[in-house]
Structure 1
Amino acid sequence: MADRTPVAVFISGSGTNMAALLYASRAADCPYEVVLVLSNNPDASGLKLAEAEGVATFCLPHQGIPRAEHDALMEAQVLASGAQVIALAGYMRILSPEFTGRWEGRMLNIHPSLLPKYKGLHTHDRAIEAGDSHGGCSVHLVTAELDDGPILGQTPVAIIPGDTGDTLAGRVLFAEHQLYSRVLAKFVARGSDPVWLLDKCRALAAALPQVEERESHGAPGWRVGGKYFAYFNDQHHGTDHIAVLVKTSGPDELAALVEQDPDVWFRPAYYGASGWAGLILNRADVDWEHVADWLRRSWTAVAPRRLAAMMEF
């Protein structure tokens, strides 16, 4: 499959979740590829499995190395591999805030509980002791706060009378193997999902003052002071682009943007004659701050002068 998203997986032990991700990636329609497996434990048996399957590995024991420095050394290997996403799969190190900050929105973890319940360790015993009907697992985005990032998917697993932490853990592990690969595949494919891209644009536009969303010729658009400052373009007029259309100063600036970076910009049909530029969203590594900046600039260009002046302060 062309244009699969490269993923690096961090492990500390047997790497069964890593193996589940790896074998799922061998399906012809899987949108990701495991390009590197890393560990802080030289005895992690998951490293041997990855090597046997032809996946590059890297190991760096953490003893005696400051946390942020160890994270940076691991990160250097991730960057060299070309990975765009990190999947933590039984990685038993708390990551430094600097590292998690650099990978915010691009690093996932699987946790053996139905978050926000039972962050940290001994999750199965805690669920049984609490009298819960179900344990389970969650995949979430990683933040500096332990097991606290946005939840991307969960699978409940029934607690059976007589369960111990070990027996429940065995069944939850089956659920983990199913859930993680499914969520990761959906996560990396979201950049080509027009619904997800529209929601991102909608949130950025709505953050600007006095914005109204209204359809224009069947496409979502955003207005301020009765004038449109952006439109959502979903492969209209025969293009492959999913894009947000924003105002430039005119055709000359539009032409310069397209010439300078044709992988980011295009001249939209009809709108382009008036200087509207298409900012392509269905591509790798979209800089959403850049998108937000252009939406703000386009909003400023059409907003009533009094309202636009307020944004300058």
Structure 2
Amino acid sequence: MAEKARIAILISGRGSNMGALIYAAKSDDCPYEIMLVASNDPDAAGLKLAKAENIPTFAEPHKGRSREEHDQIMHEAVVDAGADYIVLAGYMRILSDSFVRKWAERMLNIHPSLLPKYKGLNTYQRAIDAGDSHSGCSVHLVTPELDDGPVLAQTEVAILPDDTADSLAERILIAEHQLYPDSLSRYVTREADPEWILAQVRQHALELDETHERASFGSPGWRVGSEKTGKYFAYFTHRLHGEAGIGLLVKTTGLDEQSALLEADPELYYLPKFYGKSGWIAVRLDTGRTDWDHIADWLAKSWRMVAPKKLVKLQQIADEF
């Protein structure tokens, strides 16, 4: 089994969602482990549960400290615990922009509404007052704007005719306890998902000038130039020509560079079956540790090899500015 993602959970109270995450992590096939439960309230009930489950805890009161100062203390505690991700589970603090930036795309939250509806507080009553047939919960990435990050998953919960805010909250909490561990598991293993990997490659490839996508032998490929005369500079490979792995095929300067790459890092590079004799190299994308800046650099380098000279010169001038 692949190395598990390391999670820090931030709480302010009883930590019921924290408990759901802790118990899910006890499964042998769970892709994450809990490294720390931290709170801005030393008396938070959830800390007692975490300690009973032998999970390291940390608490630092926020009173008397600036938001940035307290956030930095929490950040250092999470880093010291060796966590890769932060999961907010009833953490009743508005986070500073600097803290959010440090954990961009690595911090998740759960919110008791079907976002983008009803951001903020009093979500249950607001849904009832609006006459909605359903409310629910959403797991989203944390961004500087409150409850505004990309939604990863949602569960709808029917609103009954005699519901109060409290009765609706009880059922939504059940949904939260199921949705949060599942969403976290899928998020931390996303780099093993071929569709997610392809989406990242596609985004980087199409950022290059005069680039379009065209399938080749049933796999996505990217060309620079017109639809008629464009030349391929990259291919996505997932079981392409019988290969088992997921990778990106890009052009090298020739067989010498190809050989040097294979010798220098055989875990990252491999020889593609169909294109290898033409000097192409395959960069593995299924290690779970993909350096996407490195992939973007490879795409740009391969693009320059086949792009019209005039277009390359224009790109070089733009890069200087």
Fold match (TM-score > 0.5): yes
Q: Do the aligned partners of 2:219 and 2:240 also contact (CA within 8 Å) in 1?
A: no
Does residue 294 of the first structure (1) align with residue 298 of the second (2)? yes
Counterpart of 1:110 in structure 2 is 110
Written as runs of structure 1 = structure 2, the 5 A alignment for 1:146-295 is: 146-225=146-225, 226-236=230-240, 241-295=245-299
Q: Do the aligned partners of 2:96 and 2:144 also contact (CA within 8 Å) in 1?
A: yes
Q: TM-score, normalised by structure 2?
A: 0.90
Query: Which structure 2 residue ranges, 5 or more long, are not aligned?
Result: none
Q: Which moved more, 1:224-233 or 1:147-156?
A: 224-233
State the distance in 1 between where 2:160 and 2:60 align.
Answer: 40
CA shift digits 1:82-123 (9 cap, x unpaired)? 322211111111111112112111111000111111111111
Deviation at 1:189, TM superposition (A): 1.5
Counterpart of 1:134 in structure 2 is 134
State the distance in 2 between where 1:300 and 1:32 align.
Answer: 40
Q: Cα RMSD between the aligned structures?
A: 2.0
State the distance in 1 between where 2:143 and 2:287 align.
Answer: 24
Query: Which structure 1 residue ranges, 5 or more long, are not aligned?
Result: none
CA shift digits 1:167-210 (9 cap, x unpaired)? 11111100110111111111112111111111221122122222
Partner AA of 2:297 in structure 1 = D
CA shift digits 1:140-171 (9 cap, x unpaired)? 11101100001111111122223221111111
Partner AA of 1:96 in structure 2 = S
- CA separation of 1:76 and 1:178: change in aligned 2, threshold 3 A: same
CA shift digits 1:265-298 (9 cap, x unpaired)? 3343453444323222222342323222221221
Q: Do the aligned partners of 2:241 and 2:274 also contact (CA within 8 Å) in 1?
A: no
- CA separation of 1:266 and 1:77: change in aligned 2, threshold 3 A: farther
Q: Which moved more, 1:204-213 or 1:182-191?
A: 204-213
Deviation at 1:259, TM superposition (A): 4.7
Q: TM-score, normalised by structure 1?
A: 0.92
Counterpart of 1:101 in structure 2 is 101
Aligned length: 313
State the distance in 2 between where 1:284 and 1:24 align.
Answer: 21
Q: Do the aligned partners of 2:139 and 2:152 also contact (CA within 8 Å) in 1?
A: yes
